Amino acid sequence: MYTQALDTAEAQSKPADTAAAARFQARIDAEQRIEPQDFMPEAYRRTLIRQISQHAHSEIVGMLPEGNWITRAPSLRRKAALLAKVQDEGGHGLYLYAAAETLGVARETLVDQLLAGAAKYSSIFNYPTLTWADIGAIGWLVDGAAIMNQIPLCRCSYGPYARAMIRICKEESFHQRQGFEIMLTLCRGTAAQKAMAQDALDRWWWPVLMMFGPPDAQSRHSQHSARWKIKRFSNDELRQKFLDATVPQAQFLGLTLPDPALAFDPETGHWRAGPIDWAEFEAVLAGNGPCNRERLEARRRAHDEGGWVREAARAHAEKRRAAKARAA
Ligand SMILES: [Fe+2]
Ligand SMILES: [Fe+2]
């Protein structure tokens, strides 16, 4: 459904038609889905292109830290599961680029922005995967955080994005469980295996809390996104949900969260985390994380090496078009 030719929303939203804008907001308020051919304000379209493309880039770059462990997974079963998971992430990227294309932007443009270093992707994928336990920690925590973020997106006001998220969320929850199961196996193993799981948790915990984005007071885009029902929970609300779900899981594993200030607040029934080092988050976003350069280099190399495939596909499509034209 995403590949059909679409009028660009830009042309539709050009007349500064306040009546149309009011009707648009009324449809959103009534929980109606906005579809590609519908009127939408230019700012709504731009916000969605930014968010969906960042999301797509994150799925694609997110294949790299885990792909790194496919050949080194400790058993055939683990290899097969990890291979399938990394392949799922590639699929998520494709659904999302396709959803972005319904807003009138070409996928090539979005990919070029990523390769040029001009587009953002999730800060978490700029951290290295040093041991096998990192694959468990990523599934448990990174996919776990992604689910918190993405389940509300299944009710996003933009139809193609919401529908893509339904399938993605189903797969993410499988990823989360396989990651937790890796952690559980390590924690029930030898002392060295449990220490490896603890070390992975120590390194991933804070970057995962940062995945939900800056605190609400500093978040630039939240207000509009909430009014347009693109985003239904704030960064801090989602971070809190994640914390409340994850602390008991860490306790079940017998692992210690690397946060001496972490405490349960009996009055609110919520876990409270200590202060997050936002300077680290800013540095990683600015391109200075441990693996930013490596990740972009890997994507550029993959893009260059895949050039012949795109060329062959174009030539094949051209031949088919010509054959069809001859037959007609
Ligand atoms: Fe994914
Ligand atoms: Fe995932």
The pLDDT tens digits along the chain (328 residues) read 333 333 334 444 455 578 898 999 999 999 999 999 999 999 999 999 999 999 999 999 999 999 999 999 999 999 999 999 999 999 999 999 999 999 999 999 999 999 999 999 999 999 999 999 999 999 999 999 999 999 999 999 999 999 999 999 999 999 999 999 999 999 999 999 999 999 999 999 999 999 999 998 887 767 888 899 999 899 999 999 999 999 999 999 999 999 999 999 999 999 999 999 999 999 999 999 999 999 999 999 999 999 999 999 999 999 999 999 999 8
CA of 88 relative to ligand 1 center, distance in Å: 7
Per DSSP, the chain holds a count of helices (H) and strands (E) of 15, 2
CA of 115 relative to ligand 1 center, distance in Å: 20
CA of 250 relative to ligand 2 center, distance in Å: 20
Q: Which residues of 247-273 are buried (b: 16+ CB within 10 A; e: fewer)?
A: bebbeebebebebeebeeeeeeeebeb
| pTM of the predicted protein model | 0.90
> How far apart are the C-alpha atoms of 324 and 328, rounded to whole Å?
6
Ligand lying closest to the C-alpha of residue 139: 2
Q: Phi-psi bin for 206: left (phi > 0), alpha (psi -120 to 50), beta?
A: alpha
**pLDDT score of 16:** 57
Instruction: With beta carbons less than 8 A apart as the criterion, state whether 270 and 244 touch.
Output: yes
**pLDDT score of 17:** 74
CA of 137 relative to ligand 2 center, distance in Å: 12
> How far apart are the C-alpha atoms of 274 and 263, rounded to whole Å?
8
CA of 319 relative to ligand 1 center, distance in Å: 35
Ligand lying closest to the C-alpha of residue 138: 2
CA of 187 relative to ligand 2 center, distance in Å: 22
CA of 11 relative to ligand 2 center, distance in Å: 36
CA of 254 relative to ligand 1 center, distance in Å: 27
**pLDDT score of 9:** 43
CA of 62 relative to ligand 2 center, distance in Å: 8
CA of 201 relative to ligand 1 center, distance in Å: 20
Looking at 146-212, which runs of residues are DSSP E strands?
none
CA of 91 relative to ligand 1 center, distance in Å: 8
Residues 6+ apart with CB under 8 A from 232: 152, 155, 156, 226
Ligand lying closest to the C-alpha of residue 56: 1
**pLDDT score of 328:** 87
With the C-alpha atoms ordered 164, 220, 19, 40, is the resulting torsion angle positive or negative?
negative
**pLDDT score of 4:** 33
Q: Please identify every residue whose CB atom is under 5 Å from ligand 1, which is an ion.
A: 59, 89, 92
Ligand lying closest to the C-alpha of residue 142: 2
Which has the closest alpha carbon to 196: 132, 129, 142? 132
CA of 206 relative to ligand 1 center, distance in Å: 20
CA of 114 relative to ligand 1 center, distance in Å: 17
CA of 255 relative to ligand 1 center, distance in Å: 26
**pLDDT score of 11:** 42
Ligand lying closest to the C-alpha of residue 95: 1
